[in-house]
């Protein structure tokens, strides 16, 4: 990674604006249900505070339309205070004279959190004047929010054009692990792609196909490949617009492409009737009944995928193997996670549903790196430059 980090600068006594990704899930009572992203930012926040910086954290939460109380960062400030073991004040806004005044009065080592930056519509428009107001709060900018690095917003890209910007530890870690997959993987390199639609992963498939030793496709995406082969797929997910692309991939990849051999099919849509109301059976991929739908990879496929993973040097995984939200249909995803955990490979989980799955199934600690950014990790694996990274200073 050729970007400067917080280790390359002197922060003592300086006001440092740190873009973090505290867009965490909450229940209806406003209680945080998963604090992974807050925990991931701790090394950067702690280091800056210990080195005498005046740490000003900025984040978004949800998609508010103007000031929306349910999207306040108050629960985040409370959880962060507990994790840091020191009080973190939530300021009532993120720009303006009052905020300017409170920030100027900060002491060395103090940490504050600005209120939700998306309460201002100018944030997502990357409005230059708004970026200037944010930048006026500090002397140095740190981006530690990989999850939003693919967005050119005022707090992710605009500020870095005004203040000297460097990467935090989480950003550094994300870029190093995901970068190593593309640039210098330990071989064999295996990519596992799942999830619903092929069209969402076209660029990833194109980019990875030139680099991987084996490309494994599972999840809802696989049925479009089966359809492209002329198989009956019943009521399974179909991405009609990507059939020709699937044919091209199969022709280009040859035996480097691994598709499921058998699948678990359901008599009804579990999202509509509930998983327990579904009758299920395991069938070869060439024998999916017309009225049934595929919901998971089958046992033969799980064993085959696990066998290939065992011999890997590096594995990158993005997208579940089935409808993992229901325990009944999470066995394929669990089998892949278990195989990764048991392998001696460098295992990199591209955020989003794959990260949620390894967390839910209890395998997160056994992975080399679990990305905190779904969209950002996908765009990175597509080989696209991320605006929030490009704007940071080069070493």
Instruction: Pick the closest to residue 99 from 150, 50, 133 (CA basis).
Output: 133
Instruction: Pick the closest to residue 252 from 221, 207, 309 (CA basis).
Output: 207
Q: Give me the pLDDT at residue 224, please.
A: 97
With a cut of 80, say whether residue 110 has pLDDT above it. yes
**pLDDT single digits (tens) 312-325:** 999 999 999 999 99
Q: What is the domain partition of the chain in residue ranges?
A: 6-170, 178-381
CA dihedral sign of residues 22, 28, 30, 35: negative
What pTM was estimated for this model as a whole?
0.90
3-state secondary structure labels for all residues of 92-120: CCCCCHHHHHHHHCCCCCCEEECCCHHHC
Active-site choice (3, 4, 37, 173): 37
CATH of 178-381, one of 3.40.50.1260, 3.10.129.10, 3.40.50.300, 3.90.1150.10: 3.40.50.1260
With a cut of 90, say whether residue 353 has pLDDT above it. no
Active-site choice (14, 132, 161, 197): 197
Q: Percent of the chain at pLDDT above 70? A: 100
CATH number of 6-170: 3.40.50.1260
Round to whole Å and give the CA distance between 136 and 26: 31
Active-site choice (158, 319, 350, 352): 352
User: Rounded mean pLDDT of 280-300?
Assistant: 97
Q: Give me the pLDDT at residue 372, please.
A: 86
| Count of helix runs (H) and strand runs (E) in the chain | 14, 15
The first and second tokens of residue 264, run together, are: 């678990």
Q: Give me the pLDDT at residue 67, please.
A: 94
With a cut of 80, say whether residue 1 has pLDDT above it. no
**pLDDT single digits (tens) 323-349:** 999 999 999 999 999 999 999 999 999
Helices (H), 113-220: 128-135, 169-183, 202-209
- Does the active-site annotation cover 13? no
- Does the active-site annotation cover 197? yes
Q: Are 392 and 160 in contact (CB under 8 A)?
A: yes
Is it true that 6-170 and 178-381 share their CATH fold? Answer: yes
With a cut of 90, say whether residue 261 has pLDDT above it. yes
pLDDT band at residue 373 under the 50/70/90 scheme: confident
- Does the active-site annotation cover 352? yes
């Amino acid at each position: 990674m050729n970007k400067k980090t917080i280790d390359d600068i002197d922060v003592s006594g300086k006001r440092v604006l740190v873009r973090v990704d505290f867009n965490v899930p909450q229940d209806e009572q406003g209680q945080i249900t998963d604090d992974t992203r807050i925990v991931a930012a701790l090394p950067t926040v702690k280091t800056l505070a210990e080195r005498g910086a005046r740490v000003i954290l900025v984040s978004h939460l949800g998609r508010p339309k103007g000031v929306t109380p349910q999207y306040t960062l108050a629960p985040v400030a409370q959880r962060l205070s507990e994790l840091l073991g020191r009080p973190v004040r939530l300021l009532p806004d993120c720009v303006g004279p009052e905020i300017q005044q409170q920030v100027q009065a900060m002491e060395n080592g103090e940490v504050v959190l600005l209120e939700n930056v998306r309460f201002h519509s100018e944030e997502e428009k990357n409005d230059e004047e708004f970026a200037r107001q944010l930048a006026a709060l500090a002397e140095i900018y740190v981006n530690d929010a990989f999850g939003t690095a693919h967005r050119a917003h005022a707090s992710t890209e605009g500020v870095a054009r005004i203040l000297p910007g460097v990467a935090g530890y989480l950003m550094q870690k994300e870029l190093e692990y995901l970068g190593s997959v593309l640039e210098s993987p330990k071989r064999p390199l295996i990519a596992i792609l799942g999830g619903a639609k092929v069209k969402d992963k076209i660029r990833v498939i194109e980019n990875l196909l030139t680099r991987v030793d084996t490309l494994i496709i599972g999840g809802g995406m696989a049925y479009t490949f089966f359809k492209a082969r002329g198989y009956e797929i019943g009521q399974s997910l179909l991405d009609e617009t990507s059939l020709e692309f699937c044919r091209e991939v199969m022709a280009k990849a040859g035996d480097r492409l691994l598709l499921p051999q058998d699948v678990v099919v359901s008599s009804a849509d579990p999202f509509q009737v509930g998983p327990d109301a579904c009758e299920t059976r395991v069938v070869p991929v060439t024998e999916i009944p017309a009225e049934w739908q595929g919901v998971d990879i089958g046992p033969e496929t799980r064993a085959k995928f696990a066998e290939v993973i065992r011999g890997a040097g590096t594995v990158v995984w993005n997208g579940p193997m089935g409808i993992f939200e229901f325990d009944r249909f999470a066995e394929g995803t669990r089998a892949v996670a278990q195989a990764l955990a048991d392998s001696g490979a460098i295992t990199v989980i591209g955020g989003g549903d794959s990260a949620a799955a390894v967390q839910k199934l209890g395998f997160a600690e056994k992975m080399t790196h679990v990305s905190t950014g779904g969209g950002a990790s996908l765009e990175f694996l597509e080989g696209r430059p991320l605006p929030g990274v490009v704007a940071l200073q080069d070493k």
